[in-house]
Amino acid sequence: MSIFSLKNKTAIITGGGSGIGKAISGLFVEQGVNVHVLEYDKENIQALEKEFKGLKAHFCDVSKHDEVEKIIKDIASEGKIDILINNAGVAHIGNIENTTEEDLDRIYAINIKGLYNCSKAVIPVMKIQKHGVILNMASIAASVGISDRFAYSMSKGAVLTMTMSIAKDYLDDGIRCNCISPARVHTPFVDGFISKNYPGKEEEMFEKLSRTQPVGRMGQPEEIAKLALYLCSDEASFITGNDYPIDGGFIKLQG
């Protein structure tokens, strides 16, 4: 008997075009999920649909309430929505002094309001069904202090507390809500950050950043995807209102 099966379920994954989101999208397609990806990068949309047969990608700015609501209504009209994974997000480096108002607004619009928009649109559908899973992508930055991550930490702290609120408010509607908090994961963003800020020292900086995790390496997107698979499966039906660090020992074993 197959465990952690999501066959014939419908999932919406935001920011599913690259990195962790793409790994989740690909794994869920393999598991027989009817996957809808909300993605802002048009090149990623074309690549996703070409790589994963049956996946449907929709151009969407998750910070735009009306845009999100229309797409999710269209998806719901085809049947059901079993799973929402709020993965879309942007990073920012800086302390409070060098974080501009524009920086803060951009982080809020995508990382916080985006989660609000998508969850608000999906929850009424899940209430009618009397079941559903919402999984949010938080970060270890929601739980521990990290240098030069003022705005990003603010947004991920909000993700953590919104997760708890949704889990509490919709217990009686059969809706579960949890979040995952990764440490540093090897994604295209990390490679781009290193090449932009440390030209000529890419290998050295990669090793240095890898060693910030006590296990001595970065996480892989596929590892996050497998945790997401479990938390969205029926085997996790006793789990709601929790945060799951996947961090190579960063939170508990540092120092």
DSSP secondary structure code for residue 211 in this structure = T
pLDDT at 137 over 70: yes
pLDDT at 24: 98
Weakest mean pLDDT among 68-72, 75-79, 190-194? 190-194
CA distance 101 to 96: 10
CATH pick for 10-183+220-244 out of 3.40.50.720, 3.40.50.300, 3.40.50.410, 1.10.3720.10: 3.40.50.720
Q: What is the pLDDT of residues 161-196, one digit of tens each?
A: 999 999 999 999 999 999 999 999 999 889 988 998
CA-closest candidate to residue 39, choices 70, 68, 10, 3: 68
pLDDT at 55 over 80: yes
> Is pLDDT at 255 greater than 80 in this prediction?
no
Q: Give the C-alpha separation, 211 to 127, whole Å.
A: 44
Q: Is 152 a catalytic residue?
A: yes
pTM of the predicted protein model? 0.96
Residue among 40, 116, 152, 170 flagged as catalytic: 152
Q: Where in the chain is the domain with CATH 3.40.50.720?
A: 10-183+220-244
